[in-house]
Structure 1
């Protein structure tokens, strides 16, 4: 499905931070602003006055908080030597490093690992939890690491498969398996007990 959208690995990293608690369409508008201002690079973002950056990323929501997080990430990124240096790190070390940055949690770190650095990790998001719970593959409230390592144990270190699986879950969650699901026409309905509750057969 060619997910995650982004012209460069760094743009993917920026998008991973900006997409926290918002829809991707809002992130796209913020990234368009950054490109128009010619600041979509780590040096420019790190040097930009915080209020100016917040104004540019305003469409993404929580823009003051995200401005701080984005700049904290850019400072860390530059201090480590940028993309070329970071590509030499092991996946475990890179994940620990990302998680050390203020405002970067497991989901954001794994977005960056999988989509920007093409590392074999699975991203657990709200769509994943909802789908797994409805299919009774999980309770829905398991710790992040339990779900992540569970999927990775099945799919192994197949980066394209991990990428595609997450992309398909996101697409399914946006179109059909929504908070109020659209069960009719869902390809998983026959194996979904939750559909009997949400969309009972008359």
Structure 2
């Protein structure tokens, strides 16, 4: 199965998911940190807490002490660690000239700059590059690995950047397609391609090496 075929099969099954669920680029950046090692449901609770005190902005977060920030993002888990990571991201954002300053960078420079922020790894950086700045990168996550391995797709077990680049070559510099594929894989991973898969009515079952009989 080729990657464009996978995208079309998942689109036909799940439709347009309108991902990432955020109103601003800054919200995407915050959400990308908060979603580390937790579910989006927990992230939504933390974001709601920040909205509730009108703090979901660079100025709003900067006005909070580390302890206050940690308490408000508690639902996302690892809240002390994530509070520190958000503060590192805020400092980076300020030093870079804000969203506008980052938007002026080309994609490779933007990604490299984000990877230099303490607590921002490849997946978090690519979440931000793709969803906040609408650049043509692919986000590799655990759902991607699981699905690609079960479909026996090339590069499924390769290092992060090798798999990312493989998908980017397959789809070309199409931001909407890269966005959709990641969002659809996440949805498919939650709905059907779980650690214990629900193979009934799976849209890619006939291509899967692990499908239940």
TM-score range (shorter-chain normalised) is: over 0.9
1:114 to 116, 120, 130: 130
State the shift of 1:7 in Å.
Answer: 1.0
Q: Which residues of 2 match residues 66-145 of structure 1 at below 5 A?
A: 66-138=82-154, 140-145=156-161
Unaligned runs of 5+ in 2: 1-16
Provide the TM-score with structure 2 as the length reference.
Answer: 0.90
SS where residue 30 of structure 2 aligns? helix
- 8 Å Cα contact 1:30/1:57 also seen in 2: yes
SS where residue 194 of structure 1 aligns? coil
State the shift of 1:193 in Å.
Answer: 1.4
Match of 1:182 in 2: 198
Aligned residues: 197
CA distance in 2, matches of 1:190, 1:169: 17
Which structure is higher in RCO with an 8 Å CA cutoff and minimum separation 6?
Answer: 2
Aligned-residue CA RMSD in angstroms?
Answer: 1.0
- 8 Å Cα contact 2:155/2:162 also seen in 1: no
Match of 2:43 in 1: 27
Provide the TM-score with structure 1 as the length reference.
Answer: 0.95
CA distance in 2, matches of 1:180, 1:140: 19
Match of 1:164 in 2: 180
1:59 to 54, 71, 75: 75
State the shift of 1:43 in Å.
Answer: 2.3
Runs of 4+ in 1 over 6 A off after TM superposition: none
Match of 2:12 in 1: none
Q: Which residues of 2 match residues 35-46 of structure 1 at below 5 A?
A: 35-46=51-62
State the shift of 1:114 in Å.
Answer: 0.3
1:12 to 28, 50, 57: 28
State the shift of 1:143 in Å.
Answer: 0.5
Note the alpha carbon deviations across 1:101-133, whole angstroms, 9 max, x for none: 000000000000000000000000000000000
State the shift of 1:46 in Å.
Answer: 2.7
Note the alpha carbon deviations across 1:37-92, whole angstroms, 9 max, x for none: 11111123134211110000000000000000011001100111111111110001
CA distance in 2, matches of 1:111, 1:25: 17
CA distance in 1, matches of 2:122, 2:152: 23
